[in-house]
Amino acid sequence: MSSDKIIGEWKKKIFKPIYWLEGEESYYIDEVMEYAEHHILSEQEAGFNLSIFYGKDANWADVINACRKYPMFSDKQVVLLKEAQQMRDVEKLDAYVESPLTSTIFVVSYKDKKVDGRSKLAKVLKQKGEMLTTKKLYENQLPEWANNMVHSKGFTITQKAVLLLVDHIGNDLQRISNEIDKLLVNLSGSQNITEDDIEKYVGISKEYNVFELTDALGRKDLVKAIRIIRYFGENPKAGPIQMVLPALHNFFSKTYSVFGVQGGDEKSIASALGVPPFFVKDYINAAKRYGFAGVEQALMLLHHYNLKSIGIGDIGSSDASLMSEMVVKMMN
């Protein structure tokens, strides 16, 4: 079950006794926990019927005893167990999960891991509980996720603006969400987020960033690429080599994959690469400009300069010097 479906059912006053939230992506787990804490019960009901435990400090017996209490002045009580992955003897919760009270809504967050599928707890959870298992999004899914987040709030965002945002933040849904909220608060009358807004309110240069460097390399625009790298050299936080090289490797890896796609049409390539259709032309054009041997060489150079960046085969060169040398070799 998804976080949206769980919260949707709660809004309709449809509750189950056990909710187990686990997995790698904490954003969805936190979203459900926040709703359970602040919206299932009214403020008056919560004073008597909301219990919150934290795994590091909680005793399994105390949690079960809280779950077995009956609500006061309400037909439901809510018991939250946060950070359950840090709780000793968490598997002993199986005794309650096997026979829960229908008047208790027990919600457990179990972050960054999954309950052992061989345990009795896992088996009774599958029978008696509602489980949410989360996974980290792939990098190529982040632009669509951010775009949908903006649209869900009644706004729009330009393609370049969303790419700038996710390239800068990376795979951190909570940070992306927070930055979007900050942007929406600062928009003065407009319903559309642009790259100018990203530059002004998030602090990302719309001209000097990893996305623009990748674009310059894809088009073999050496002048633009060197200009961006020089900016990175003067502003180390804007483009550290440890962030730039993986982004370039991702671009050339996908470009390399273009050569292996049968048919060669944009739809087939987008599907094979697992990227949104509007990205595909960049990879196709780069493949044409570099050719198979050129893309292969680019990947080898990225590996070589990654080693240099950590001091293997090079001592003392600046990040900007290494990247400048690398892109010149790529384009020649």
Q: Would you write out the chain's pLDDT as a tens digit for each of its 332 residues?
A: 899 999 999 999 999 999 999 999 999 999 999 999 999 999 999 999 999 999 999 999 999 999 999 999 999 999 999 999 999 999 999 999 999 999 999 999 999 989 988 899 999 999 999 999 999 998 888 999 999 999 999 999 999 899 899 988 889 999 999 999 999 999 888 899 999 999 999 888 889 999 899 999 999 999 999 999 999 999 988 889 998 999 999 999 999 999 988 767 788 888 888 777 777 889 999 999 999 999 999 999 999 999 999 999 888 899 999 999 999 999 98
Of 83, 107, 134, which residue constitutes the final position of a domain?
A: 134
122 and 170 housed in the same domain: no
Q: Do 11 and 93 belong to one domain?
A: yes
User: Given strand 50-54, what is the order of strands in its sheet?
Assistant: 50-54, 77-82, 104-111, 18-23, 130-134
Same domain as 197, residue 97: no
326 shares a domain with 276: yes
- Do 188 and 87 lie in one domain? The reply is no
What's the residue count for the chain? Answer: 332
pLDDT, position 194? 94
130, 13: one domain: yes
Quote the pLDDT of residue 170.
86
User: Within this chain, do residues 158 and 184 fall inside the same structural domain, yes or no?
Assistant: yes
| Contact between residue 77 and residue 69 where contact means Cβ atoms under 8 Å apart | yes
Answer yes or no: do 166 and 127 share one domain.
no
Q: What does the block give as tokens for 243?
A: 């962030």
Residue where a domain stops, chosen among 94, 119, 134: 134
Question: Which amino acid, residue 317?
Answer: S
Question: Is 261 in the same domain as 327?
Answer: yes
User: Is residue 173 within 8 Å of 61, Cβ to Cβ?
Assistant: no
Structural domain for 103, as ranges: 3-134
Q: How many structural domains are present in the chain?
A: 3
- Residues 295, 139: Cα–Cα separation, whole Å: 21
pTM: 0.79
Is 274 found in the same domain as 288? yes
Describe the crossing of helices 210-218 and 159-169 by its angle, rounded to 10 degrees: 110
* Domain end residue (candidates: 101, 134, 167): 134
- Do residue 60 and residue 88 come from a single domain? yes
Q: Indicate whether 35 and 104 sit together in one domain.
A: yes
Strand partners, 21: 109, 132
Quick one: pLDDT at residue 1? 81
Q: What spatial distance separates the first Cα and last Cα of the chain, rounded to whole Å?
A: 52
CATH number, domain of 263, equals 1.20.272.10
Measured between alpha carbons, how far is 6 from 40 in angstroms, rounded to an integer? 12
What pLDDT is stored for residue 139 in this prediction? 83
Residue with tokens 């209490």: 69
Q: Which residue has the tokens 């600046």?
A: 318
158, burial (CB in 10 Å: exposed 0-12, middle 13-18, buried 19+): middle
